[in-house]
Amino acid sequence: MSHLLITGGAGFIGSNFVRHVLRETGHTVTVLDRMTYAANEASLAGLDPARFGLVVGDIADAVVVDDLVGAADAVVHFAAESHNDNSLSDPWPFVHTNLIGTYTLLEAVRRHRTRFHHVSTDEVFGDLQLEDPQRFTEETPYNPSSPYSSTKAGSDLLVRAWVRSFGVEATLSNCSNNYGPYQHVEKFIPRQITNVLWGVRPKLYGEGRNVRDWIHAEDHSAAVLRILEAGAPGRTYLVGADGELDNLTVLRTILRLMGRDEDDFDHVRDRAGHDLRYAIDGTRTRAELGWEPRYTDFEAGLRATVDWYAGHREWWEPVKAATEAKYAEVGQ
Ligand code: NAD
Ligand code: TDX
């Protein structure tokens, strides 16, 4: 049994991971989270206080981080500014958290010789053409597009440098687009589901031909836990579930599942520098770690996600109006 420090554990994937760890292992967990707009304490409600605690703090605060890392057997690092659209309107928090925050954690795990897992994204590779037969692999060169993805790319490179130069025992994972419960309503799938529930029309950027490679957050959690247990120090693992779909198809599926006309949405202004397509080749991760995605029926996963948002209005409704007001300001 170990004690894990999980950064960003009050966000979407982090909170799913905390529940996964408490369910699947005997580990105890401390979450370090700054409780930004993206966090929700309700995502961690009802967890066993004997095995779980929340510390509100900044991963760029070296004093707080040093204490918590010193008390942990391993650190799993999810904390980030995570939304591309926000990074276009105000990049600074992305530099602060994704770069300086990751640097601060790395210095602490270096001092304490603590096992570290860094959670990253496939967006570090840039984008692919629609008809390109290739997918991202561990060898794909980094070519990030947005302030979000470039700060994530920078954080990955910091981790690699701390492994090579200082012998830090770290692993990395680059995962594709996650969906599932507890995702902030600023993101594509929850935004559209809650728009329908809230009585406004869904919003599609441009023509919606952009492709994302969807994976359920529960599958991502299982992969991260497996890497923590069996990953080779210094290695990068690509995590994906062969879930490529264009945005138009996803939106039409949501509308159909919710009993609406599939054309009942608005086209809005496209995202600046909008990446066309992401696609992960996760063959090596599956072969080496024996991890397999379980939520491979996307429509079933989406239906369960629709049901979750319909049944948890108290979780998302308090932030819905402010999120939509922010989008309205930029014509999206
Ligand atoms: P999220 O925005 O839902 O949650 C991020 C959490 O980090 C929030 O709880 C926030 O309060 C916290 N945080 C932000 N700045 C902090 C700081 N300075 N100190 C402490 N805590 C801070 O993000 P998410 O979608 O759950 O993503 C989690 C991680 O997974 C990120 O590193 C992201 O890059 C990566 N990732 C996300 C996806 C995806 O599809 N969402 C895919 C691949 C990788
Ligand atoms: O209202 C919308 N309409 C729309 O068409 C929104 C919010 C998005 N989109 C499009 C843009 C993207 O092509 O949907 C797609 C998905 O958008 P996001 O949910 O913002 O995700 P994306 O930009 O692909 O990034 C996500 O996956 C990789 C996460 O937010 C990142 O944290 C992760 O690294």
User: For the segment 5-64, what is each residue's pLDDT rounded down to a tens digit?
Assistant: 999 999 999 999 999 999 999 999 999 999 999 999 999 999 999 999 999 999 999 999
Indicate whether 247 belongs to any domain.
no
From the CA of 122, give the closest atom in ligand 1. Answer: 43
Is the CB of residue 97 below 6 angstroms from any atom belonging to ligand 1? Answer: yes
Is the CB of residue 286 below 6 angstroms from any atom belonging to ligand 2? Answer: no
Question: Quick check: 187 pLDDT over 80?
Answer: yes
Is the CB of residue 213 below 6 angstroms from any atom belonging to ligand 2? Answer: no
Indicate whether 318 belongs to any domain.
no
> How many angstroms separate the alpha carbon of residue 10 from the centre of ligand 1?
9
Helices 147-166 and 102-112: crossing angle in degrees, nearest 10, is 20
Is the CB of residue 119 below 6 angstroms from any atom belonging to ligand 1? Answer: yes
Indicate whether 251 belongs to any domain.
no
Beta strand 177-179 with 115-121: parallel, antiparallel or unpaired? unpaired
Quick one: DSSP state of residue 293?
A: -
For the stretch 101-157, pLDDT in tens is 999 999 999 999 999 999 999 999 999 999 999 999 999 999 999 999 999 999 999
Helix (H) or strand (E) holding 28: strand 28-33
Domain count, the chain: 1
Q: Please, which pLDDT band fits residue 1 given cuts at 50, 70 and 90? A: confident
Indicate whether 189 belongs to any domain.
no
Indicate whether 267 belongs to any domain.
no
User: What single-letter amino acid sits at 225?
Assistant: L
Is the CB of residue 38 below 6 angstroms from any atom belonging to ligand 1? Answer: yes
Domain that holds residue 27: 3-178+215-239
Query: CA angle 188-244-121, nearest 5°?
Result: 65
Strand runs labelled E in 139-255: 170-175, 177-179, 203-205, 211-216, 236-239, 244-246
Indicate whether 120 belongs to any domain.
yes
Indicate whether 56 belongs to any domain.
yes
Q: Are 103 and 168 in contact (CB under 8 A)?
A: no
pLDDT confidence of residue 259: 98
What is the residue with the minimal CA distance to atom 15 of ligand 2?
188
From the CA of 120, give the closest atom in ligand 2. Answer: 34
Which residues does the annotation mark as catalytic? Answer: 122-123, 148
Backbone φ and ψ for 263, nearest 5 degrees, come out as -100, 10
Alpha-carbon radius of gyration of the chain: 19
CATH number at residue 91: 3.40.50.720
C-alpha closest to that of 27 among 234, 255, 288, 221: 221
pTM of the model: 0.99
Indicate whether 149 belongs to any domain.
yes
What is the residue with the minimal CA distance to atom 4 of ligand 1?
11
